Amino acid sequence: MKDYVLGQRQRSREMFVPLVHPPGHAQADFGEAVGIIGGVKRKIHFFTFDLPHSDAGFVQAYPAETTEAFCDGHVRAFAFFGGVPQSILYDNTRIAVARILGDGKRQRTRVFTELQSHYLFEDRFGRPGKGNDKGKVEGLVGYARRNFLVPIPVFESFEALNAYLLECCRRRQADRLRGREGTIGERLERDLAAFQTPLPPPYDACEKVATTVSSLSLVRYRLNDYSVPTTYGHREVLVRGYVHEVVISCGAETIARHVRSYEREDFVFDPLHYLALLEQKINALDQAAPLAGWQLPEAFATLRRLLEARMGKQGKREFVQVLRLIEVFRIDDVAAGVRDAIDRGVIGFDAVKHLVLCRIERRPPRLDMTVYPYLPRANVATTSARTYLDLLIGVTS
């Protein structure tokens, strides 16, 4: 019985046909690994792009396997090789395939259709659940994980990690694989000769979502909220989600840019977006969430204490007006103006603004009235009772 079961299993195992790969075609897929980025241990999703004829490969790492990472990987791969292959083989990822129809045809997603229309390559898809249909890129996924990402990579940012991965891909082109003539780089020349040229301008690798600004001046994208200037409250906007950035526009105008967050239910604020509203609703200054954790130079806190000590509530408003200078000028210049105002004892928004402008225009400050000799001087005398008596005498006479 044991021999019978063994024979049945052997006969039922799938057999494969050796394939030949003509130049000019590619395969693409994602893999996963673990790395330490910016001191945080996390899962890394890396995009792999393989040319089966030459075995040349391209690898880039991303925080998540998303639509924008998928598109960005293609854009970078095409730029790395300097051209576009004739066709690319994929698995049935939801990023590219919206639906598999009854006759086996694929209904492409909108973003993948845009990418394909931009670069004009032919798309091909493997059988559902059959990774061996694109065995070359599957092999590259394993090779990259074992050789490029072991031991656990430690980098300050994804940009640094990707620079390292590109260098690994370039060094690998000098390798000579078993059973293949010439090095990977030498065979790559035949692949590149069959590529489509010239390379078109880069595709805008992002996900586009239309939405509305909330009453809190926030826009929701992928479960996270990003701020926009309060003047755009309740308006329709377009969110473009890139791998490392979220860009929000209203009409043809870009109104906000934020570093992309991959947390869940996170709030990403730009304090400058709320200063105009805080100037009107000054009582909310101490509890304003967008300003919590805003790291400002110590001179700003000193200025606020002096303003409030001298002017009370109006001092708070003038402090917000000083902060609004950062909307126009560099924070270093505004901080220098604040420190100069404190040193001179001229505590107020007008003085700080004047000092900032003088610093930028490289001219000396003019806060002392002695430098304006042409202005009439005002002499204020002390009122006395004798003065009124002189007036009365003049009337009676």
How far is it, in rounded angstroms, from Cα 31 to Cα 45?
A: 6
What is the rounded distance in angstroms from the CA atom of residue 290 to the CA atom of residue 271? 5
The per-residue pLDDT for 21 is: 78
**Worst-scoring range by mean pLDDT, 95-109, 151-165, 293-307?**
95-109
Same structural domain, 165 and 258: no
Helices (H), the chain: 2-12, 67-81, 110-119, 135-147, 158-172, 184-193, 275-280, 298-311, 313-324, 331-344, 349-361, 385-396
Are 25 and 170 members of one domain?
Answer: yes
Of 193, 216, 238, which one is at a domain's C-terminal end? 193
State whether 123 and 66 are in the same domain.
yes
Assess if residue 147 is contained within a domain: yes
Overall average pLDDT of the 324-329 stretch: 96
Residue 380 in domain: no
In a domain, 388, yes or no: no
pLDDT band at 375 (very low <50, low <70, confident <90, very high): very low
What's the rounded Cα separation, in Å, for the pair 317 and 336? Answer: 20
Query: Is this model's pTM higher than 0.75 or not?
Result: yes
DSSP state of 281: S
Tokens of 226: 């990003």
In this prediction, residue 312 carries a pLDDT of 87
Kindly write down the DSSP assignment for every residue of 133-186, as one continuous string.
GGHHHHHHHHHHHHHTS-S--EESSHHHHHHHHHHHHHHHTT---TT-SS-HHH
Residue 224 has pLDDT above 80, yes or no: yes
For residue 362, is it within any domain? yes
pLDDT > 70? residue 347 = yes
Which among 111, 105, 17 has a CA at the least distance from the CA of 71? 111
Note whether residue 8 is domain-resident. no
Where is pLDDT greater, at 65 or 365?
65
Instruction: Tell whether 138 is covered by a domain.
Output: yes
pLDDT at 110 over 80: yes
Structural domain for 296, as ranges = 279-371
Surface-to-core class of residue 196, CB atoms within 10 Å of its CB (0-12 exposed, 13-18 middle, 19+ buried): middle
pLDDT of residue 393 exceeding 80, the answer is: no
The residue-averaged pLDDT of 319-326 equals: 96
Instruction: Give CA–CA dist 182/174, Å, rounded.
Output: 9
The answer to whether residue 6 is domain-embedded is: no
Query: With contact defined as beta carbons under 8 Å apart, do 271 and 291 qualify?
Result: yes
pLDDT at 368: 58
Split into its structural domains, the chain has a count of: 3
pLDDT at residue number 129: 66
Task: Look up tokens 């329709």; give the residue.
Answer: 236
Same domain, 37 and 58: yes
List CB contacts of 12: < 8 A, sequence separation 6 or more. none
Residue 15: how many CB atoms within 10 A of its CB?
A: 4
Whether residues 258 and 118 fall in one domain: no
302 and 237 in one domain?
no
What value does the mean pLDDT take over residues 304-332?
A: 93
Pick the closest to residue 79 from 111, 110, 116, 49 (CA basis).
Answer: 49
Domain termination residue (choose one: 139, 166, 193): 193
Across 258-283, b (16+ Cβ under 10 Å) vs e yields bebbeeeeeebbbbbbbbebbbeebe
Q: pLDDT category, 374, cuts 50, 70, 90? A: very low
pLDDT at site 370: 55
Distance CA 348, CA 149 (A): 56
Domain boundary among 219, 239, 268: 268
For the stretch 54-97, pLDDT in tens is 999 999 999 999 999 999 999 999 999 999 999 999 999 999 99
Residue, of 29 and 102, whose pLDDT is higher: 29
Give dist(CA 359, CA 365) in Å, integer: 8
Task: Check whether 365 has a pLDDT greater than 90.
Answer: no
In this predicted structure, the answer to whether residue 371 has a pLDDT above a threshold of 50 is no
CA-to-CA distance for 161 and 5, rounded, in angstroms? 49
What pLDDT is attached to residue 130?
65
In a domain, 379, yes or no: no
- Same domain assignment for residues 67 and 171: yes
Identify the pLDDT of residue 89. 95
Q: Are residues 123 and 238 in the same domain?
A: no
Eight-class DSSP state of 222: T
Considering the domain architecture, whether residues 60 and 151 belong to the same structural domain is answered as yes
pLDDT for the residue numbered 396: 53
Is residue 187 domain-shared with residue 219, that is, in the same domain? Answer: no
Report the chain's mean pLDDT, rounded to a whole number.
Answer: 90
Locus of tokens 């200025």: 303
Summarised one tens digit per residue, pLDDT across range 283-309 is 999 999 999 989 999 999 999 999 999
Do 291 and 251 share a domain, yes or no?
no
Look at residue 128 in the predicted model and tell me its pLDDT. Answer: 78
**Residue 112 and residue 239 in one domain:** no
Question: CATH number, domain at 51?
Answer: 3.30.420.10
Q: In the predicted model, is pLDDT for residue 378 greater than 70?
A: no
